[in-house]
Structure 1
C-alpha cells in the first residue's frame, strides 16, 4: 500500500512539472480552434479494486479477485460509455468559455468529427487523429483532451473513482504547444466518502455519478486555464456586435463572416449525459 501511494505521489509530482500556462499573448494569436476529446485504447474503464486491495478477501469468499474485478469492470463499462466520458469533458469545458475570440470562431464539433472520421459514434477512436486534416476547415489550432486511464480503485478498504490524462492546446502548423495541463484526480487519495464496490455492482449509477463529478471538476479547471487573466483587451467582441460579425479565414483562404459560437454538443439528441445525472 505504501508503494502504491508513493507511485501516485510521484505521478502527481511529475505531472505538475510538465504543465504549461496559457499566456494571453499566445491566445491572441489563435484565430480558429478545433476541440478534440479522446480516450486512449487501453485507458479503461478499469477495476483495480479486488486484486489490489485484500480488504475485500473475506467478502469475496470463493470468488477470485481477478474475476471479481472483471465483473465490476463490466458494470463500470455499462454505467457510462467512453463516448459519454470524453464528450462530457469537451462540452462542459466549452460551455464555460467566454463569448469572445477565438471561442466564437471554434470549428463546429460535428464537422471536426466528420473530417476525422469519428462520425460521433459511441466508441471514440483511440489513436491520435491526423490534425492536419483540420486545416481544411480553417482551423489553426487544437484544444485536445486525452484520457489515459480511468475507472475505480481501492486502498485499505476505501474505494472510489479516478481519472488521469492531459489537456493541451497547440498550433497545427509546427505543433507548438501553448498550453498543457496534466491531470490526475483520485477520490481515494482525496479521502472522500467510500464508494462501496459491492453497491456499485448492484447500482452502477453510483460510479457514474462520482466519475461525472470528476469530469466536471476538470472542465471547470480547463475553462479557467483557457481564460488567461493577462490577456490584453481585444479578445471580446466589439460592443453592440452580434456573434458571427467578426471576420476569419476559411479553409480556402477567402474572407468570410466567422460563425457564431457553435452548438454545445453537435451531437444527436440523447447522446450526451445530463449535466446532473
Structure 2
C-alpha cells in the first residue's frame, strides 16, 4: 500500500513538467536501443538540512549550519556512491521490461560503457556523452536517465531524501524524442516518514535505504512507460529465446543491480553532535 501510494506521488510530482508518452507505433520503429544512466556534475548528493531549516539550531549547539551540512553530506556520499545511484535506476528499469522486441536487441551495457569511456568508474561522467559513438555499435535509439539533483533536505523539523531529473528516449538520427518523463520525488513534500539527520550521521545506511527505495519506484514507473498499452501484439519472443550471434541483453535474464555496499561501522572524524548528549 505504501509503495503504491508513493508511485502515485511520483506521477503527480512529474505531471506539471513537460512530458511525452511513448506511443506503441514509435516503439515499433525502434530496432537497436542503448541504455544510458548518468548524474550531472553538481547533482549531489547534497545536504540542505541545517542551512534551510532553523528547527535544528538548538541541537547543533555551537556548530554552524553550513559546517553541519558539510559533515552530513560527507556521510551521504559514503552511504551510496553516485555510480550506484545511477546504475540502480538503469538496471532496475531494464530488468522489468518484457522479453520482446526491441528490448531483446538492447546493446550490451558493457560495450556501451566502454565506447563511452564510463565502464566500471566510480564517478559517472558529468557531461553528456557523445551519443554518435553508439552508432558504431549499431544503435539507433537511446534510453537515457539523467539525475540532476539528489540528497537530503528538511522543512519544519522534518527531513527526508529527494531526487530530481528526467528520463527520455530519442532517436540517434535527428535526436527526435519518442518519450520524456521528468521526475521530482521529495519525501518531505509528500509527508513521508521523518529521516532524522542526526541518526543518518551515525547510520548513513538509513539514507541509502530511502534513496534506493525511491529509485526502485521510479524504475517501476519507467518500465511501465516503456511498455505502451496501445502497442500491437507481435513483438514478443518465446520464453528463454535469444538472438543468435548478437551481443544483445535479454531482459528475461533479469540483470540485477550491484549488491549493497556494507556501511563502515566506524564514524569518520567530524561527526554531527549528538542532540541527546
Task: Report the TM-score range of the alignment, normalised by the length of the smaller protein.
Answer: 0.7 to 0.9
Contact kept in structure 2, 1:244 and 1:260, CA below 8 Å? no
Contact kept in structure 1, 2:108 and 2:247, CA below 8 Å? no
Alignment TM-score, normalising by the size of structure 2? 0.85
Residues paired across the two proteins, number? 250
- Cα distance, 1:232–1:240 mapped onto 2, change above 3 Å: same
Return 5+ residue gaps in structure 2 as ranges: 1-11, 264-277
| Structure 2 CA distance for aligned equivalents of residues 119 and 147 of structure 1 | 18
| Structure 1 CA distance for aligned equivalents of residues 26 and 210 of structure 2 | 35
- Answer yes or no: is 1:210 the counterpart of 2:210: yes
- 1:266-277 → structure 2 map (5 Å cutoff): 272-274=258-260
Return 5+ residue gaps in structure 1 as ranges: 1-11, 246-255
The aligned residue for residue 242 of structure 2 is 243
The aligned residue for residue 5 of structure 2 is none
| Structure 1 CA distance for aligned equivalents of residues 240 and 189 of structure 2 | 47
| Structure 2 CA distance for aligned equivalents of residues 149 and 171 of structure 1 | 26
Q: CA shift at 1:16, angstroms?
A: 2.8
The aligned residue for residue 248 of structure 2 is 259
| Structure 2 CA distance for aligned equivalents of residues 240 and 90 of structure 1 | 23
Q: CA shift at 1:272, angstroms?
A: 1.6
The aligned residue for residue 251 of structure 1 is none
Contact kept in structure 2, 1:164 and 1:185, CA below 8 Å? yes
Q: CA shift at 1:17, angstroms?
A: 3.7
SS in 2 for 1:190: coil
- Answer yes or no: is 1:114 the counterpart of 2:100: no
Contact kept in structure 1, 2:31 and 2:105, CA below 8 Å? yes
- Answer yes or no: is 1:16 the counterpart of 2:16: yes
| Structure 2 CA distance for aligned equivalents of residues 223 and 169 of structure 1 | 12
Alignment TM-score, normalising by the size of structure 1? 0.85
| Structure 2 CA distance for aligned equivalents of residues 258 and 200 of structure 1 | 42
Runs of 4+ in 1 over 3 A off after TM superposition: 12-15, 256-260, 262-266
